[in-house]
Structure 1
Amino acid sequence: MPVTVTRTTITTTTSSSSGLGSHTIVGSPRALTQPLGLLRLLQLLSTCVAFSLVASVNAWTGPMGDWSMFTWCFCFAVTLIILIVEVGGLQPRFPLSWRNFPITYACYAALFCLSTSIIYPTTYVQFQPHGRVRDHAIAATVFSCIAFVAYATEVAWTRARPGEITGYMATVPGLLKVLETFVACVIFAFLSDPGLYQHHRALEWCVAVYAICFILAAVAILLNLGDCTNALPISFPSFLSGLALLSVLLYATALVLWPLYQFDERYGGQPQRRKDRSCGSSHNYYICGWDRRLAIAILTAVNLLAYVADLVYSARLVFVRV
């Protein structure tokens, strides 16, 4: 019996810069006075002030401090590039798809700033004595929160609406891909200590799952940013559905194995935090082994939920009727 496959095709149209959800096509300084341009100026200002306050008093230490400084500097630099491209009307010469790049970056920047707004005060600010350094660190945290709100607002304004023709990265599945890769990056950061997983093959399998799923999601994002979806041997919606299904199955195994071998004494795990010697000291700039294991378990569950939602949305792109 023949099978007819009908799929929805996600494309994009070019519009003027008069609305919040559109991008500037003709370069003009007036682009900065549009609502989206003003929002990006706020992003630029808040990230610049954040890293300037911290750098002026050397208010960062350890890997968490490095993460915070990288976040503010990276977001400032890329936002500046986006403003230059739009003011100069250089979108046709930009090496990546302008249909997908700005919202993809805005989503990443929102997640980066959110994580920094939580990590920086909890691992640095609260341990500082009252004084100039602490005041600068608190002010930097406030501006980091402002940057997060600004980036999140851009994502909310420029994401695809029901029935709207747009780029894939502006849709819910596209934004979920960003979330999945970001959570995986945070998991990799917590896995920086090989001693967390090298003592058992089941835990090494979990690390392999995180890496495989991250690569697959990153490939999907890069295909859209490079406008290369037509190069696949199968339809892009079918590719997305298969990718999401595989990732759900892999993450389901990690969600079972990681907590089992990390917190169950029968499998060599440590169920109680107080028994972990690395968690005995209360010094800052450091996250102990037990807390890392717990954070990875929670992030694994978060990413599994994201992949399940991704599978549901991606499956709707492909309808098979017999």
Structure 2
Amino acid sequence: MPTRREILSAASAATVIAAASRPVSAANHQGAGAPDLSGKAILITGTSSGFGHLGALHYARAGAKVIATMRNLPRPEADALVKAAKDEGLDLHVVELDVLDPDSVIGGVAKAERLAGGALDVIVNNAGISFGLPVELQDEEAARLMFDTNVLGYQRVARAALPGMRDVKRGQVFNVSSQLGRVVIPGFGLYSATKFAVEAQAEQMAYELAPHGIDVTIIQPGGYPTAIWENASANTQTLIDRLSDDEKTAYQGFIDNATRVGTGGDSDPMDIPRAIAEIIAMPAGQRPLRRAVHPVTRPQEKINEVSAATQLAILGDSPYGPMVKAVLG
């Protein structure tokens, strides 16, 4: 398979990475351990719970220097990570970073770079929120908060970290999306819209950053038993409390089911950190653009395949062809 260096150098672009985007079998998602991540400096957002919390510990246990970020410090979740780092001798640091606050993002990334002694090797954009209910019932307050967190939050962190990565011509950006970034289910309102935006944003970045030696990977989790269900239920209840009687009557069926706390099934949420660690350890340029992660349900894989084929068909022979081929192969 040609490398990104080969593809882009053929188009007179000096780059260092190679392209591979290939189907992933169920076995690829279920690695029992972790590869050696020694020497990697990894910043993660949203580490107070869920994939972010699990990932922070997993990557640190695999040898990485981890900068675990969250907002509203001090808080018990941060204390738990600090204690684990001390007890296990992990190179893990908790830094305050609120993805909604541009100054907090800039300051948090700068502190992470000081801890890393230079450019970060990896950023994992993971912080996110969800409100349920149909689109009509999601008022501007809820819509702004979701887009500001799930989309602009990722953009803020990337913009703060990418100059350092470009300077050293290496790096990896992970954007945690969802199956609902490709598939639409009624009643999830604008959450899917934010994750569709994450998908487009990250794919565009992958093409644009290929000449700079930086890989971008979109992680697409299915349902997992994390705090997202309880948090989404609480967010949705605040939205219900703001609805008029007419709005509630119009969508009574959705209202009745909106705050029933899901479980995410009995799948193992460690699948996500394991998949990310596996991809980090791949040679630069052999990392996939997308990785669907779930032991059973990955309906978006066919959409991913069609999307890649369409991008290549439309842009493969255009002036953008070298960048697109560098990412999609």
Q: Answer yes or no: same fold by TM over 0.5.
A: no
Give the TM-score normalised by structure 1: 0.25
Q: Which has the higher strand share?
A: 2
> TM (normalized to structure 2)?
0.25
Compare CA radii of gyration and give the structure with the larger one: 1
Structure number with higher helix proportion: 1
